[in-house]
Structure 1
Amino acid sequence: MNNAPYPTPYPDVNVVLLELLPAVQSILGSHFIGMYLDGSLATGDFDEASDIDFVVVTDKEISGALFESLQAMHDRIGIMDSPWAIQLEGSYISQQALRRYDPAYALHPNIERGSNERLKMELHDHTWDVHRYVLRESGITLIGPSPQTLIDPVAPDDLRRAMFAALQEWAMQILDEPTQIDGWGYQTYSVLSLCRILYTLQYGTIVSKPCAARWAQETLEKTWEPLIERAWVGRHNPGLKAPADDVTATLDLIRYTLEYSQKFKMPANKR
């Protein structure tokens, strides 16, 4: 259990988390098991362009009055006088559903980052294995038992399956509608995500975006190196229009990653 008064090295982030945690505990009461941070805060690549990824673990599925109370609480936090108040991105997962991914127990309360986002019931697909892995291996405990006691180990091939499936759906959506990456924010996010997908397919593990990007620059054909390097600049200016050449190059990198991924195509895992 982490009893530190400040859960992260970032004071402005802590202000939001120290508002969220007691509010969640108050609403859930005896149903609360723990609250954790995953994502970039856990993997070590958090910066001012990141979101605040969190997971709340409960002893039962959330619905009815509890859901409505949590939704109202998130609405209130979302109007706090802090830019981080709308960067919360997380889920409320029962202990049973967190232990191992089961599509029969995959509908959970979730909130995404953004000024107009509200807590909603969201289907968590098999790519949730990626979150489970990061949470188990690197997660930050705000309060509660160790994540390793709550989550079964995630096998390398399960991570590969999750990344492969996510890539097929996500990449085809962008190729079908390339205007999605006209903005510098999503274009650079796409480049760095592709680096991480390629790394996971190759090694069956999850690393930070900087680590995956460096690996891609050192390993892939040199033609991709400038695009990846520019992604670190563009992600800090998400409201600007992406350079046309970078949009074209990103689409090419998507096609390359789709082709590369075929060697890792595996049968669906029977759970």
Structure 2
Amino acid sequence: MDGPTSFPELNGILASYVEGARRVLGPNFVGAYLTGSFALGDADAGSDVDFLIVVRELLGEEQAQDVQTMHREVYDRPSHWAKHLEGSYFPADLLRRPDPARTPVPYFDHGSRDLQFSDHDNTLVVRWVTREHGLALAGPPPRELIDPVNPDDLRAEVRTILNQWGRALLGESEDTSRGWAWTPDGLDNDWLQPLVVLLMTRMLQTLDTGAVYSKKAAVAWAERHAPEWAPLLGRAWAKHADQFTRYQRPADPQDLALTRDFIRFALNHPLALMPDA
């Protein structure tokens, strides 16, 4: 494989992006890393491209504008992958260890041309994946930048997120921090419904193992630990490769009902109910 991924077009986009980040950041640049599905090894054409750019200091106003201009130049290229970049510009001292306050950092949402401040990547999950499996596009190995993540702390974070997301999707809370999609009405979407099934399966696997795995690996885990849900999970995984074509479609009614049942199953699973260590 000639490049960090098995997709030559994506490798070209990543090379251009890292070169652009180096140019606009200058001495503030520390390193660039692939995280998410590409780091975990089961990425496909339906994966977004999760990245972290590590910087010495938080971006100032002028440098943030330069980063946005550079990001837009890459985004506007005639490439599928250029439209599916998602990542944060993370100060090295903040990335090194857990940040219970989840301080927002400069972030490009999936498919966005606009820089914003978000705590999206300021999690133990992102730290664990980047440290243990992150692909260095430039800079030192990620293990030199991130301290080990305590497995029980990782479980506690995932348990909290599982409950927050699950309750919101069932209409049992008024948490709207994840936006319109993460509501009972938003779940009726042929992109989100299978994604929720896969994400919550990954969460249960993390609660079981104290580690983070890909969506594909989580489906295999569930086939062993919750075989009654295997058909739903299989259909969800089958939709992953072309998930970006499904935003405007309603969910399959039968799978939507099953997904609500699966959310209840996940929320009431013994792993999700265990007290944090």
TM more than 0.5: yes
Give the whole-Å Cα distance in 2 for the aligned partners of 1:16 and 1:125. 21
Aligned residues: 261
SS at match of 1:178: coil
Q: Which amino acid aligns with 2:10?
A: V
State the match for 2:80 in structure 1. Answer: 83
State the match for 1:251 in structure 2. Answer: 260
Q: Check the 8 A contact 2:88/2:121 in 1, yes or no.
A: no
Alignment match of 2:202 (pick from 162, 179, 196): 196
> 1:98-130, CA deviations, whole angstroms, 9 ceiling, x for partnerless residues?
10122457221011112x44111113576x110
5+ residue gaps, structure 2, are: 172-182
Alignment match of 2:37 (pick from 14, 35, 40): 40
Q: Check the 8 A contact 2:40/2:129 in 1, yes or no.
A: yes
Measured on the aligned residues, the alpha-carbon RMSD in Å equals: 1.8
What are the residue-to-residue correspondences of 1:133-144 with 2, within 5 Å? 133-144=128-139
State the match for 1:266 in structure 2. Answer: 276
Q: Which amino acid aligns with 1:146?
A: P
> 1:33-55, CA deviations, whole angstroms, 9 ceiling, x for partnerless residues?
11010100010110010001100
Q: Check the 8 A contact 1:37/1:53 in 2, yes or no.
A: yes
Q: Check the 8 A contact 1:103/1:125 in 2, yes or no.
A: no
What are the residue-to-residue correspondences of 1:210-225 with 2, within 5 Å? 210-220=216-226, 222-225=227-230
State the match for 2:238 in structure 1. Answer: 233
State the match for 2:175 in structure 1. Answer: none
SS at match of 2:39: helix
5+ residue gaps, structure 1, are: none
Q: Which amino acid aligns with 2:161?
A: A
Q: % of aligned pairs identical?
A: 36
CA spacing shift, 1:139–1:224, aligned 2, 3 Å: same
Give the whole-Å Cα distance in 2 for the aligned partners of 1:197 and 1:67. 33
State the match for 2:179 in structure 1. Answer: none
Instruction: Point out the more displaced range, 239-248 or 41-50.
Output: 239-248
Give the whole-Å Cα distance in 2 for the aligned partners of 1:150 and 1:68. 26
Give, in angstroms, the shift of residue 223 of structure 1.
2.6
Give, in angstroms, the shift of residue 233 of structure 1.
1.9
So what's the TM-score if we normalise by structure 2?
0.89
Q: Check the 8 A contact 1:35/1:57 in 2, yes or no.
A: yes
Q: Check the 8 A contact 2:56/2:91 in 1, yes or no.
A: yes
State the match for 1:16 in structure 2. Answer: 13
- Which structure shows the higher helix fraction? 1
Q: Check the 8 A contact 2:39/2:135 in 1, yes or no.
A: yes
> 1:129-179, CA deviations, whole angstroms, 9 ceiling, x for partnerless residues?
101001000010111111111100001111101111111221122112322
Q: Which amino acid aligns with 2:37?
A: S
Give the whole-Å Cα distance in 2 for the aligned partners of 1:236 and 1:182. 19
State the match for 1:118 in structure 2. Answer: 114
Give, in angstroms, the shift of residue 77 of structure 1.
1.7
Q: Which amino acid aligns with 2:250?
A: K
CA spacing shift, 1:236–1:242, aligned 2, 3 Å: farther
Q: Check the 8 A contact 1:185/1:236 in 2, yes or no.
A: no
What are the residue-to-residue correspondences of 1:145-156 with 2, within 5 Å? 145-156=140-151
CA spacing shift, 1:182–1:175, aligned 2, 3 Å: same
Give the whole-Å Cα distance in 2 for the aligned partners of 1:50 and 1:249. 24
The answer to whether 1:180 aligns with 2:189 is: no
Alignment match of 1:157 (pick from 143, 152, 160): 152
Q: Which amino acid aligns with 2:204?
A: L
Q: Which amino acid aligns with 2:93?
A: Q
SS at match of 2:77: coil
SS at match of 2:202: helix
